[in-house]
Structure 1
Amino acid sequence: MSNHIALENVSQSFSAEETKVELFNNLNLTINQGQSYAITGPSGTGKSSLLMLMSGLENPSSGSCTYVENGQKKSLTLLRENIGFIFQQFHLLPELTALNNVALPLKLRGDKQALTKAKTWLDKVGLSHRLAHKPLQLSGGEQQRVAIARALVFEPKFIFADEPTGNLDQHNATEIADLLFACCQENNAGLILVTHSHALANRAEHIFSLADGHGIATAIEQLEAVS
């Protein structure tokens, strides 16, 4: 079996106004490196929380989330440097230019080619003319592109994206989706998307639909374009 992230009997809940809210119960899910997944479902069913659990950024109320490499179970924290996360709210550093926001993950790793690689990725997302602009000088869609370039610049093993095309028009959304899926294939990365877009979800190899507190995993074939 390929390297993968394993969620076993995972439940997640939180307290709100002295009431316990359960998002999901006893979910079992395997995320294989090199495959693509979409998480869909109505608002409030825990899609973003599930994404945070898969990436190791949050811990479940119960159950386990592990990274299995060459048959050996390991803590998800060991995978953290190989995870790219595209947040819905971007989380760009306002004092840094687009170029330096993208280069930052590489600089933290001591990569001397950080700026060169960052320029390459900003060009890939169509922002070669915005290198010196800070986040507040960019539109929401442009900020999303910077966030995507930052997540992909170090070629992670797994890419997690929370509504990655939610702030883009249809043309730009298609271009960014093409880029995400191409990166997944070229680098043998796992791609996990939270999305309300049926078109984007249907491009994934697997769909995980959350509803009524329970997850239903469904494998689908890649859809052919209908002319």
Structure 2
Amino acid sequence: MNRAHTTYINLDQVGHSFAVNNEKIYLFKDLNLSISQGQSHAIIGPSGAGKSSLLMLMSGLEPPKDGQVQIYVHGIDHEISQFRESIGFIFQQFHLLPELTALSNVALPLKLRGIKNAEDQAEYWLKKVGLSHRLTHKPNQLSGGEQQRVAIARALVFKPKFIFADEPTGNLDGKSASDVADLLFACCHENGAGLVVVTHSEELAQRAQHVFALRNGECHVC
């Protein structure tokens, strides 16, 4: 792969820690890894290993305690915080606004950016995720699988370069989990987005092109 023509996120000697009784406890340290746009990646490991924290650092939602997280575009490096508009995030708990309809939840990120045809684009993506019949429904009127579909549409509506998903199927039954996984991988592939999924599901992880195992403060390629 010619990295000069590839957009990718690079973690260089990244560490994350917290303090307990004035003692620094590391979740992980000195991590070096890269994730590329247009490819799928899974992060696996036991509970408490720091998978969700690593996802937050990769996506620029939190700064690392140590090291650097940078995004390279056409061979030029930038701070990941400068590219927040190129990154979408999908949470396990959906994080939909309960007072808004599915259409309004998906349109909101576009409206916040001043895009005039926000609702038209939101409707297009809701149709793509199979929810054309649920446009006016609020989250409490939707199943868990439907809410996660809305969350996927919301993350993809502005065509980000990367999608980060934290246990996207963790709260779903087997059939809904499989359907949501199919949808997530298909939409990211179609959109040319890089996908990074934190998951306890071995089945979901095996669908990714690259798998990283985070254990005992170290991250290994599987």
* Aligned with 1:213 (options 197, 210, 217): 217
Q: 3-state DSSP class of the match of 2:48?
A: coil
2:197 aligns with: 193
The CA deviation at 1:205 is: 0.5
* Aligned with 1:157 (options 158, 161, 169): 161
The CA deviation at 1:76 is: 0.6
Counterpart CA distance in 1 for 2:216 and 2:62 is: 21
Q: 3-state DSSP class of the match of 1:73?
A: strand
Gaps of 5+ in 1: 219-227
Does the 8 Å contact 1:86/1:147 carry over to 2? Answer: yes
Matching of residues 100-111 of structure 1 within 5 Å: 100-111=104-115
Does the 8 Å contact 1:156/1:189 carry over to 2? Answer: yes
TM-score (norm 1): 0.91
1:61 aligns with: 65
Query: Structure 1 runs of 4+ off > 4 angstroms?
Result: none
Matching of residues 108-147 of structure 1 within 5 Å: 108-147=112-151
Counterpart CA distance in 2 for 1:98 and 1:181 is: 21
- Which string of whole-angstrom CA distances, capped at 9 and with x for unpartnered residues, describes residues 13-69 of structure 1? 012454432110100001111111000000000000000000000011100000111
Are residue 21 (structure 1) and residue 25 (structure 2) matched?
A: yes
Does the 8 Å contact 2:88/2:155 carry over to 1? Answer: yes
* Aligned with 1:179 (options 183, 187, 191): 183
Matching of residues 92-103 of structure 1 within 5 Å: 92-103=96-107
RMSD, aligned CA: 1.4
TM-score (norm 2): 0.93
Gaps of 5+ in 2: none
Counterpart CA distance in 2 for 1:145 and 1:3 is: 26
Counterpart CA distance in 2 for 1:167 and 1:197 is: 12
Counterpart CA distance in 2 for 1:17 and 1:177 is: 41
Counterpart CA distance in 1 for 2:69 and 2:21 is: 28
Paired positions, count: 218
Counterpart CA distance in 2 for 1:19 and 1:136 is: 43
Does the 8 Å contact 1:119/1:128 carry over to 2? Answer: yes
Question: Percent identity of the aligned residues?
Answer: 65
Report which stretch shifted further, 172-181 or 83-92.
172-181
Does the 8 Å contact 1:144/1:167 carry over to 2? Answer: no
Counterpart CA distance in 2 for 1:171 and 1:91 is: 22
The CA deviation at 1:85 is: 0.3
Q: 3-state DSSP class of the match of 1:14?
A: strand
